[in-house]
Chains A and B, each alone.
Chain A
């Protein structure tokens, strides 16, 4: 196996093949939820599992092979109607496929069978035991062939052979299927062995110990999996490893050595048990085999209206980096071509100048000889210049096409990132006790792969938010006169050279007043600040801002829309939110189709050229005619009825400005605006954005650079960071205005926030006390709900952290009473509890808790984050 591991290319192929298969398998499983009888889909996912198993086996990745093998068995049973694919089984299969993806990520790590994988294997086997229509008495067979194969693999390894080949042979021999070709590939391609049970033989199972070579343990600890009685299945490698260890533990010796040896040598089985079961199997095998063949040929069932097609077709696998290299080169070629155009133009100019001069001496007899020579040269120059211009023009067209096609290579339909969403929505809504329909639209809209990759997480985040915080519980929806089932939509569409992705829900919407209240409590805004609804909602994108009424595990600590904004910013896109209370919320993400080419304004700041993405520039104002007024000590301009702070771009960048006069750019980012004065405007052009090379890490205010027509490097400014810096009071470029300073100072002097910690365990009380005190809070303690109420009557607190189960009065009741009393109804309550049940969480919400933190998932940071975001 170590040899394979070293071959990166091979590993890469393996990884991409397996992930494609798993993706196909997962989408198939989800599809089966709506059309459970779709034979075509069942066949397809069965083949997926089978292929994954086969590849993993060839590459020698035992854990993946084991898991895929079990999945294949289960799916085989489903395929042949022995097992019904219910939601539970689908869950196990989905989890197993996820586990394979996880294993795929850690191929280079020493191989072992992680616990969760072992558990999944057990669950899959159990599903077959419970659900399978196995004949009675057949399901308790200890896994003997497994043991045999295990040894086989060990011996095999020692001989430096591919274990795949050995197990292929072993399987052939133990299952006594002489109709199978002996090639391991062929054996694998035939699909799984038939899962026909056979009787156990106790003598048999105790006898295999003899073959385990001394000192050999299960390789790499792959035998960690729990040993489950396997009901059926002739394929030895199926459940081999765990069984081998179990056998070894039993440590008995017995008399089936000959049989095992027969297995080892790959001959026909010699043991009596084998012969019998082999016979059994054959007798039952025929019809089933026939059925499978038929179904695989697609003759079974009515034709589907929508064919289930694997996403692997006539494609060439190319590494993304190669495509981007190509795009880069094409971009460079286009830039080079622009320079060539410039040269052609200059040559043409030169020609015209020469023409004018020769014309002037034309009729001067004294210069006639010179004229002829010059005129001859001019004509040749004219021809060359015309040829060059022509060539440059046709080259330019060809290069444009080349560039476009190169960029097209990196474009993928958004459907590729939508694929996991149905499952996410399904799991999450089930987990939260909500009923949610997911509508995906515009999956064909294409986006650059790099953009897509970086936008998946933000969209997933918004989707989770929509379900967790947007969509109400069915009862609540009914009370509000809405259909029980909520609806969440993810829609992608083109808008010019941009792609718009909308994530919307028909849930309860966001209350701007609530947002404003939280913002005020955190000191982000002043009560006096006049803000439009749009501006208020955009506060949600501020770091650490959360208005979720309940902070849960699902959304982590608060909502974290700042993370979404960060990601979108990086992609030079924008994100906006609109919401109608009671009717729903829509997040709109606008992205450039590709990261490679950006339309920029070239400006001069600090005496240097910079490029500013046009997308962020709302308007360019001339220097003349701007009324600059000081507002709170900062120059501001009036723009569309708004007052916008004005900065010199150089000043924001921290370099010296060469002049305080020049055009003004109105730049916006997430509903925030600043006016940036530049020293001059040079022009507008499309540029290929490159990184800053391997040496420079992220540089503040710079998103990348580009090479101009004359070969110079120009830096592309990051509008978001420019706005951040300009608007950040802490890094005020001038002394902060008095009002702002007062605000900052007053916050410093603010009295410590006071927390009431309620828990009946002294140890936990004290632990929480030390955590909160270390975080700068003043902490009061109470040992149960009643004691807490007494404290609340006597003193004012800024937040309550309570346990649920307590003597006299529990946390639910305490929370309810806190909400019921006018002087405490606004006090944030965080429930910290061992109860992880969804109904408890919901009950917490019902009585009015603001956050619910489960102790099993309890870590200090999560708790502190929750408290900080609620209490301040």
Chain B
């Protein structure tokens, strides 16, 4: 279990997941009913993928599409984590490198052709993140979802919904809200520029 000081620093979403986990029951969370798993106690369905050697996942409900990496056009003057813009069947979408955001060091960079794009949609803001490999969809019951480890990397912590084990490996579940947060970060940068 987590200490109190850590739990207060967590975003609301994480707390509500924890409530499911600890009580097994559903707490009314009027502002936070996006995930059906949270609301009904059904298992959370997530898309599991790899960044380097680590396994991560986003809730399936936020993943609009998984695709190969098309040609990416770099955008000058924006922050490093924006790889550029890509055309996905006529839709222009920003491609993000969340490894840069999380500070995940790369020993040997995978060629883009070997990577995949995970298109996320978080409250109408769409962006695609580059991942090294997509492993599939997993169902995570509320019992299985553990609270985030206190030792998680600083940059990662605000976006950790929790983690679960699959095949003796830890999978960190991320909050797709990171897309919104990154967008706000760019807006702030644009304003101050």
A residues near B (Cβ < 8 Å) are: 332, 606, 608-609, 653-655, 690-702, 705, 707, 711-715
Per a CB cutoff under 8 Å, which of B70, B85, B182, B187 touches A693? B85
Say how far A728's CB is from chain B's closest CB, in angstroms. Answer: 12
What would be 29 A-B contacts, judged by CB atoms less than 8 Å apart? A609-B73, A653-B77, A654-B77, A691-B92, A692-B92, A693-B91, A693-B92, A693-B93, A693-B126, A694-B125, A695-B96, A695-B127, A696-B75, A696-B78, A696-B94, A700-B77, A702-B75, A702-B77, A705-B92, A707-B90, A707-B92, A711-B71, A712-B73, A713-B71, A713-B73, A713-B86, A713-B92, A715-B73, A715-B75
Question: In the complex, what residues of B have CB within 8 A of residue A698's CB?
Answer: 190
CA distance A606 to B74 in the complex (A): 11
A711-B70, A713-B86 as given contacts; A697 in contact with B94, CB under 8 Å:
no
Say how far B20's CB is from chain A's closest CB, in angstroms. Answer: 29
A697-B186, A698-B190, A711-B70 as given contacts; A692 in contact with B76, CB under 8 Å:
no
Question: In the complex, what residues of A have CB within 8 A of residue B86's CB?
Answer: 713
| Inter-chain CB contacts under 8 Å: number | 83
Q: Known pairs A707-B90, A712-B87; list 16 more (Cβ under 8 Å).
A: A332-B90, A609-B73, A654-B76, A691-B92, A692-B94, A695-B126, A695-B182, A696-B183, A697-B186, A699-B75, A700-B77, A705-B85, A705-B92, A712-B73, A713-B73, A713-B85
Say how far B132's CB is from chain A's closest CB, in angstroms. Answer: 21
- Say yes or no: is B28 at the interface (Cβ < 8 Å to chain A): no
CA distance A698 to B190 in the complex (A): 7
CA distance A52 to B187 in the complex (A): 42
- Which applies to chain A's interface (DSSP): helix, strand, loop or mixed? loop
- Say yes or no: is B82 at the interface (Cβ < 8 Å to chain A): yes
CA distance A707 to B91 in the complex (A): 9
Per a CB cutoff under 8 Å, which of A653, A695, A699, A705 touches B125? A695
Say how far B53's CB is from chain A's closest CB, in angstroms. Answer: 27
CA distance A255 to B58 in the complex (A): 72
Per a CB cutoff under 8 Å, which of B78, B96, B127 touches A699? B78
CA distance A513 to B87 in the complex (A): 52
User: Considering residues A609, A694, A700, which has the most beta carbons from chain B within 10 angstroms of its beta carbon?
Assistant: A694
Instruction: Annotate B66-102 by CB proximity to A: 1 below 8 A, 0 otherwise.
Output: 0000110111111000101111001111101000000
- CB <8 Å contact, B74 and A608: yes
Say how far B125's CB is from chain A's closest CB, in angstroms. Answer: 5
* CB-CB contacts below 8 Å: B113-168 with A: 124-127
User: Considering residues A606, A609, A697, A702, which has the most beta carbons from chain B within 10 angstroms of its beta carbon?
Assistant: A697
- Say yes or no: is B176 at the interface (Cβ < 8 Å to chain A): no
Say how far B62's CB is from chain A's closest CB, in angstroms. Answer: 14
Instruction: Annotate B45-77 by CB proximity to A: 1 below 8 A, 0 otherwise.
Output: 000000000000000000000000011011111
Question: In the complex, what residues of A have CB within 8 A of residue B186's CB?
Answer: 696-697
Question: In the complex, what residues of B have CB within 8 A of residue A713's CB?
Answer: 71, 73, 84-87, 92
Say how far A826's CB is from chain B's closest CB, in angstroms. Answer: 38
- Say yes or no: is B179 at the interface (Cβ < 8 Å to chain A): yes
A694-B126, A695-B127, A696-B82 as given contacts; A701 in contact with B76, CB under 8 Å:
yes
CA distance A715 to B186 in the complex (A): 18
Per a CB cutoff under 8 Å, which of A653, A692, A697 touches B85? A692
- CB <8 Å contact, A606 and B92: no
- Say yes or no: is B193 at the interface (Cβ < 8 Å to chain A): yes
CA distance A714 to B75 in the complex (A): 10
B residues near A (Cβ < 8 Å) are: 70-71, 73-78, 82, 84-87, 90-94, 96, 124-127, 179, 182-183, 186-187, 190, 193
- CB <8 Å contact, B190 and A690: no
Question: In the complex, what residues of A have CB within 8 A of residue B93's CB?
Answer: 693, 695
CA distance A713 to B82 in the complex (A): 15
User: Considering residues B75, B126, B127, B182, which has the most beta carbons from chain A within 10 angstroms of its beta carbon?
Assistant: B75
CA distance A261 to B182 in the complex (A): 64
Question: In the complex, what residues of B have CB within 8 A of residue A695's CB?
Answer: 93-94, 96, 125-127, 179, 182-183
Question: In the complex, what residues of B have CB within 8 A of residue A699's CB?
Answer: 75, 77-78, 190
CA distance A655 to B75 in the complex (A): 10
- CB <8 Å contact, B77 and A711: no
CA distance A332 to B93 in the complex (A): 15
- CB <8 Å contact, B77 and A608: no
User: Lowest 8 A-B CB distances belong to which pairs?
Assistant: A695-B94, A695-B127, A713-B73, A653-B76, A697-B187, A713-B85, A693-B92, A655-B76
Question: In the complex, what residues of A have CB within 8 A of residue B76's CB?
Answer: 606, 608, 653-655, 701
Question: In the complex, what residues of A have CB within 8 A of residue B73's CB?
Answer: 608-609, 705, 712-715
Question: In the complex, what residues of A have CB within 8 A of residue B75's CB?
Answer: 692, 696, 699, 702, 715
Say how far B79's CB is from chain A's closest CB, in angstroms. Answer: 11
- CB <8 Å contact, A700 and B126: no
CA distance A584 to B186 in the complex (A): 45
CA distance A741 to B186 in the complex (A): 32
CA distance A695 to B88 in the complex (A): 14
CA distance A713 to B89 in the complex (A): 11
CA distance A569 to B126 in the complex (A): 27
CA distance A714 to B71 in the complex (A): 11
Say how far B191's CB is from chain A's closest CB, in angstroms. Answer: 9
- CB <8 Å contact, A711 and B190: no
Question: In the complex, what residues of B have CB within 8 A of residue A700's CB?
Answer: 77, 190, 193
- CB <8 Å contact, A696 and B70: no
CA distance A702 to B183 in the complex (A): 17
Question: Which A residue sits closest to B183, measured CB to CB?
Answer: A695
Question: In the complex, what residues of B have CB within 8 A of residue A714's CB?
Answer: 73
CA distance A691 to B85 in the complex (A): 11
CA distance A715 to B179 in the complex (A): 22
CA distance A693 to B85 in the complex (A): 9
Say how far B178's CB is from chain A's closest CB, in angstroms. Answer: 12
Question: In the complex, what residues of B have CB within 8 A of residue A332's CB?
Answer: 90
- CB <8 Å contact, B190 and A697: yes
User: Considering residues B71, B77, B125, B193, which has the most beta carbons from chain A within 10 angstroms of its beta carbon?
Assistant: B77
Say how far A406's CB is from chain B's closest CB, in angstroms. Answer: 15
Say how far A33's CB is from chain B's closest CB, in angstroms. Answer: 46
CA distance A332 to B84 in the complex (A): 21
Question: Which B residue sits closest to A329, measured CB to CB?
Answer: B90
Question: In the complex, what residues of A have CB within 8 A of residue B90's CB?
Answer: 332, 707
- CB <8 Å contact, B85 and A696: yes
Say how far A694's CB is from chain B's closest CB, in angstroms. Answer: 5
CA distance A714 to B186 in the complex (A): 21
CA distance A609 to B76 in the complex (A): 12
CA distance A514 to B12 in the complex (A): 60
CA distance A701 to B190 in the complex (A): 12
CA distance A443 to B168 in the complex (A): 73
Say how far B29's CB is from chain A's closest CB, in angstroms. Answer: 22
Question: Which A residue sits closest to B180, measured CB to CB?
Answer: A695
CA distance A692 to B77 in the complex (A): 14
CA distance A707 to B86 in the complex (A): 9
Question: Which B residue sits closest to A704, measured CB to CB?
Answer: B92
CA distance A330 to B40 in the complex (A): 43
Question: Which B residue sits closest to A656, measured CB to CB?
Answer: B76
Say how far B16's CB is from chain A's closest CB, in angstroms. Answer: 26
Question: Which B residue sits closest to A708, measured CB to CB?
Answer: B87
Per a CB cutoff under 8 Å, which of A692, A694, A701 touches B124? A694
A695-B127, A697-B183 as given contacts; A690 in contact with B92, CB under 8 Å:
yes
CA distance A692 to B94 in the complex (A): 8
Question: Which A residue sits closest to B126, measured CB to CB?
Answer: A694
Question: In the complex, what residues of A have CB within 8 A of residue B126's CB?
Answer: 693-695
